[in-house]
């Protein structure tokens, strides 16, 4: 084995060890390839995802998100982001807070803005690569890259019927980030299986029929209208009590039964506000709660309007929807016979060990009661 090969393996192993030390939950490496070239004999998952993306754009399912339709060739080749790029180092960071939420805010926006939270640590990975003479650039929704597709290529999971990346241990409540680099890293095997099977819970549970298998119609999606759309127009669907984002298609997914709540991103105060409390806040107060969070993606007056709309139909609140969801889509008494993630050497190399759970105030109180006075 040549010294170049040895140094490639060594650098990859060191980078993965650093990612684990920085607290990421999973990681993997994909080799950079042009996705708009003639199809290879065995198309890669990233190549197939790029074809689906082009079809999605051509059908107009991206709604008003024109930035996704502009210059699709840029998303075909990561070298447009960093000339000479040879490798992509992808990471996952879970953000699940609880399985039984009552907030009208999607869980990804409960804490510090994930762009800032992830980018700080991704920059450390990039700096490490630069120490060895390579160019490197971190990205978290900040580059024209098909991040979910490259995560599949790096072996981190598959794209489910709800169009989200699914990891067998972490579920779908994960942020995706990474580093694109000119360094030659040892690629991981792509994830080629699909564990959605015959399950259609996300499709059936979507209240606006925005989902068909592996396709999202953003024109009907609650998350699009409450986050991306400039305004809540009359053509918007019933928001079902949500005022920023929507977690229904994730809540009902059986794979999220295996996901453990994270313990690194504490929820902010706004995560516990009801729609009524949001409607009563002034615009300046809303701006204060938006500061430093993903809530900055929308305007204060739009949040107020969505909250007011939620109050006009109290039966359709996320609290009521969550109760209905867990009643109608409860997990079966006997879980499916599945090999637990981490049983194979490849999966153990991709994921971090599960951290010890936090000791909550409730658990300490229970122990005191058990011990007695």
Q: Which residues are catalytic?
A: 141
* Rounded Cα–Cα distance for residues 272 and 268 (Å): 8
Output DSSP code: residue 42: S
- Do the beta carbons of residue 77 and residue 34 sit within 8 Å? yes
Inter-residue contact 226 to 239 (CB < 8 Å) = yes
Distance separating alpha carbons of residues 30 and 51, to the nearest angstrom: 18
3-state SS, residue 37: coil
Taking each helix axis from N to C end, the angle separating 114-131 and 3-21, rounded to the nearest 10 degrees, works out to 150
100 contacts 247 by C-beta, under 8 angstroms: no
Per-position DSSP letters for 1-33, written without gaps between them: --HHHHHHHHHHHHHHHHHHHTT-SEEEEEE--
Q: From the centroid of its chain, how far is CA 228?
A: 16
Cβ burial 304-327 (10 Å sphere, 16+ → b, else e): bbbbebbeeeeebbbbebbeebee
Instruction: State how far the Cα of 219 lies from the Cα of 85, in Å rounded to an integer.
Output: 35
The Cα 107–Cα 235 span in angstroms is 26
């Amino acid at each position: 084995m040549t010294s170049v090969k040895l140094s490639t393996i060594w650098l990859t192993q060191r980078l993965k060890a650093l990612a684990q030390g920085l607290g990421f939950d999973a990681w993997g490496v994909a080799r950079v390839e042009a996705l708009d070239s003639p199809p290879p004999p065995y198309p890669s998952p990233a190549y197939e995802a790029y074809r689906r993306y082009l079809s999605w754009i051509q059908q107009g399912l991206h709604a008003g998100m024109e930035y996704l339709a502009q210059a699709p060739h840029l998303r075909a080749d990561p070298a447009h982001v960093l000339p000479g790029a040879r490798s992509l180092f992808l990471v996952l960071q879970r953000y699940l807070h609880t399985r039984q939420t009552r907030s009208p805010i999607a869980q990804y926006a409960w804490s510090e803005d994930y762009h800032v939270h992830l980018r700080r640590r991704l920059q450390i990975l990039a700096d490490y690569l630069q120490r060895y003479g390579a160019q490197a650039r971190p990205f978290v929704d900040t580059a024209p890259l098909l991040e979910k597709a490259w995560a599949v290529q790096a072996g981190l999971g598959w794209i489910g019927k709800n169009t989200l990346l699914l990891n067998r241990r972490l579920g779908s409540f994960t942020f995706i980030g990474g580093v694109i680099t000119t360094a030659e890293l040892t690629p991981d095997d792509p994830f080629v299986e699909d564990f959605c099977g015959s399950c259609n819970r996300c499709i059936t549970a979507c209240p606006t029929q925005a989902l068909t298998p592996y396709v999202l119609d953003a024109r009907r999606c609650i998350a699009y209208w409450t986050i991306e759309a400039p305004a809540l127009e009359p053509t918007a669907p019933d928001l079902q009590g949500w005022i920023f984002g929507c977690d229904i298609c994730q809540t009902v997914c059986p794979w999220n039964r295996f996901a453990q709540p994270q313990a690194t991103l504490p929820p902010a105060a706004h995560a516990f506000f009801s729609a009524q409390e949001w409607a009563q806040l002034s615009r300046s107060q809303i701006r204060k709660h938006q500061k430093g969070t993903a809530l900055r993606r929308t305007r204060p007056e739009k949040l107020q309007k969505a909250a007011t709309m939620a109050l006009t139909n109290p039966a359709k609140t996320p609290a009521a929807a969550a109760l209905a969801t867990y009643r109608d889509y409860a997990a079966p008494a006997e879980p499916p016979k599945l090999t637990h993630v981490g049983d194979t050497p490849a999966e153990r190399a991709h994921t971090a060990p599960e951290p010890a759970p936090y000791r909550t105030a409730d658990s300490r109180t229970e122990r005191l009661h058990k011990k007695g006075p």
